[in-house]
Structure formats: C-alpha cells, structure tokens
A and B are shown apart, each in its own frame.
Chain A
Amino acid sequence: MSAQKMHIDSYERNWMIFSFILLVLFASAVAVAAFGMGIQVPAPEERVDPRTVATDPNSPWSNPGLREIAPGKYDAYILARAVPQWEYLPREITVPVGSRVTFYVTSPDVQHGFMIQNTNANFMVLPGQVSKLAVTFKNEGTYNFICTEFCGAGHGVMYGAIIVTP
C-alpha cells in the first residue's frame, strides 16, 4: 500500500484552524480567571472520619458555626447532614457587609451539595472530605445556600441562609 496523503478541503482546513484558535482562546480566558483573578475550584483540604466528625470534641464540626479570625474575616464551619433530618448546621449565619468568609463544609452521612446563590461558592460536600471556598459578601441582603446533590427524601427542603447586614 502506498502512503496516501490526507485530502482536506481548504474551507474545512480553515474551519479546523479557526476552531483550534477559538478553543485556545476559551482555555486562556479560563486560565486567566483561575490563576490571574483567583477564581479557583476547591482543592483537597483535609480528610476526616465521617463517623466521628460531628461528635468528636476535637472536630470543629462538633460545634459548627462562624469564627472571626481577623476583623472582617471569618471561617464558617458547616455540617451538611441527612440524619436525623436534612439540614445544615448552623442554618443561619450573620455577617456584616464586606466580610470575607471561608467556608469549610463536610458531611457525616451521604453526599450533599453546597451552593450559595449569586456567589461563586458552589461545590460538592462528601463524607470523609472537607470542602473549602471563600466568598466576599459585597452587598447586604439574604443569600440562601442550597443543597444541590440528591441526598434522600428531604433533599428538596435542605437549605440555609447567610444574612449580610449593613
């Protein structure tokens, strides 16, 4: 068999080159947002034992809630659970406007989701893992956080709220 060359129509060749450039541009825009603007996806934070994470007194999730670590800077430890009922602990968090809140969320039972509406905080919550992302609340108002992964019969009622006060 002789080595045949691939025949590509000139229009199609140009389309392929253009597609390639277009995809490179999209990829670059994504990279700029990730590495230039710090809009990042969650990274492995910590492994925990889901069977004890909510009860072990040394675990921050045995006493979930907001901790102020510096003026205007907070850590929020949140437990997402399906047992005994579908809820986030705590259900409500209040912070002043302009606060930078870093969320640490885990589950003692099944998989959950955690999405704070109108923010970039939107991630999976897995038993055994800690999910971490930070948000600056620039505007006052109520931001619901909602469970976005099926976690059983009460999935649809599982939510909480962040109250951003003046």
Chain B
Amino acid sequence: MAKKDKEDDEFRPTGTITVLVIFVITLIAIWATIYMILVGRGGTL
C-alpha cells in the first residue's frame, strides 16, 4: 500500500492556496457584480 515518504510530510500546499485565493477573489467579484445588478433593479413584490 501507499508508503509514506518523508517529503510527503513536509509538503505544504502553498501554491494551491495561491490558486484558490485568486479563484475566490474572482468568484466574489463576479458574483457581487451580478448581485448588484439585481439589487439596483429593485423589488418585485
């Protein structure tokens, strides 16, 4: 079965965090843009 290498223990996924931070910023920016269009157009009741 899978052997645990020493370097696996030392591996910190910092690059992954970088990619995901960029993703989250894009996600918030696009989502918020569409949300603001919705809010700007006003109530429907």
Contact = CB atoms under 8 A, between A and B. Distances in A.
Given A15-B17, A26-B31, A119 B41 contact: yes
B43 A11 contact: no
B44 A121 contact: yes
A9 B14 CA distance: 12
A38 B43 contact: yes
Contacts of A121: 44
B13 A120 contact: no
A159 to B, nearest CB: 19
A10 to B, nearest CB: 9
B1 interface: no
B34 to A, nearest CB: 11
Contact of A40 (B12, B13, B44): B44
Given A26-B31, A120-B38, A15 B43 contact: no
Interface in A67-106: none
Interface string B24-41: 100010010001001101
B2 interface: no
B24 A120 contact: no
Interface in A116-140: 118-121, 133-136, 138
B38 to A, nearest CB: 6
A11 B17 contact: yes
Contact of A11 (B13, B31, B38): B13
Contacts of B44: 38-41, 120-121, 133-135
B42 A11 contact: no
Between B35, B38, B43, the greatest number of chain A beta carbons within 10 A of the residue's beta carbon is seen for: B43
Interface of A: 9, 11-12, 15, 18, 22, 26, 29, 33, 37-41, 118-121, 133-136, 138
